[in-house]
Structure 1
Amino acid sequence: MLSRIPLYIYKLYHFLYKIKIPFLPSLLCLFNRLIFGCYIPPQVLLGKNVRFGYGGSGVVIHKNCNIGDNVIISPGVVLGGRGQTLVPKIGNNVFIGPNAVILGSTIIGNNVVVGANSTVIDCIVPDNYIVIVNKASILVRSKM
């Protein structure tokens, strides 16, 4: 239950951001960052049933990142951009393993597993694949 608190706080400040209430979303985002160690800006679009392992400890997400439905994000994950427009897009039913780094204009398809400590930079990962190894390469098509 405690691991869902940062997500509930995010949903609150994302709602406040959408209705254009100033300052309070930034304050709640800072609270999330200081208390739970996860940085999820109010501009991030999270799909339904997104979950963070261990309360999102060490998770950093770029403010323009789009994350689909039923995504599990493990601790230490970085979803970062290179500028304002080159940001990752994560599909539905994705598992992102601990300490994975997804940067740039990467597009992760649906039903994808990104392994622990993988680094994915400016890559398009098709649906139903498993991505592993440092400087990730697509190795195996899964049977999802």
Structure 2
Amino acid sequence: MHAVCRWHQRARWLHKHRVPFLPTWIYYLMRIVFACDLPYAVDMAKDVKLYHNGLGVVIHRKAKIGTGTSIYQNVTIGGNGREGKDNGIPVIGCHVFIGAGAIIMGPITIGDYARIGANSVVTRSVPPYGVAVGAPAQLIRIDYDRGVSAR
């Protein structure tokens, strides 16, 4: 497991158990050491992989990221500035691939087994098994035949 993910899990556990100061200290330590903005409030599955130690990754504090997701460096998963009650926050499904430099913004859902290309700007939802690339991202195909064992 990657160091950033381990530290995030520890900070999240401490936050859930209302331990003061330590989650914030871990958050700032991760910002300095790994150059990533990964708040302890992010609802991220335990087996999410942040490649290259999450270098440059920025994730909104209310984002939800499903199991088995792979996130490469310089990815931004953020709100659109109009967050009410969790409105404007992306929800990432299970086993999603997010390429380097991708930006996922707004109240969208990225379906299970979807793939987001490198440097794509995603502002619309992507269905399960969808492949989205470009700026702004366009859905280029849906790989329904791609099974769980295809990864």
* Bucket of the pairwise TM-score, normalised by the shorter protein: over 0.9
Tell me the residue number matched to 2:113.
111
Unpaired stretches in structure 1, ≥5 consecutive residues:
none
Q: Are 1:60 and 2:49 an aligned pair?
A: no
| Deviation by residue 1:80-107 (Cα, 9 ceiling, x = unmatched) | 0124321000000100000000001010
Report the number of matched residues: 141
Which aligned segments of 4 or more residues in structure 1 are displaced greater than 3 angstroms?
none
Q: Distance in 1 between matches of 2:46 and 2:116?
A: 19
Q: Distance in 1 between matches of 2:73 and 2:98?
A: 9
| Deviation by residue 1:22-81 (Cα, 9 ceiling, x = unmatched) | 221011000001101111101101113100110000000000000000000000000001
Tell me the residue number matched to 1:125.
126
Amino acid at match of 1:17: H
Helix, strand or coil: the match of 2:141? strand
Q: What is the CA-CA distance between 1:133 and the residue it aligns to?
A: 1.0
Tell me the residue number matched to 1:20.
18
Tell me the residue number matched to 2:90.
88
Helix, strand or coil: the match of 1:125? coil
Q: Are 1:139 and 2:137 an aligned pair?
A: no
Helix, strand or coil: the match of 1:17? helix
Task: Name the TM-score, length of structure 1 as normaliser.
Answer: 0.94
Aligned ranges for residues 1-40 of structure 1 at < 5 Å? 4-40=2-38
Q: Distance in 2 between matches of 1:14 and 1:130?
A: 31
Unpaired stretches in structure 2, ≥5 consecutive residues:
147-151
Q: What is the CA-CA distance between 1:141 and the residue it aligns to?
A: 1.1
Amino acid at match of 1:108: I
Q: Distance in 2 between matches of 1:42 and 1:71?
A: 18
Tell me the residue number matched to 2:149.
none
Q: CA RMSD in A?
A: 1.0
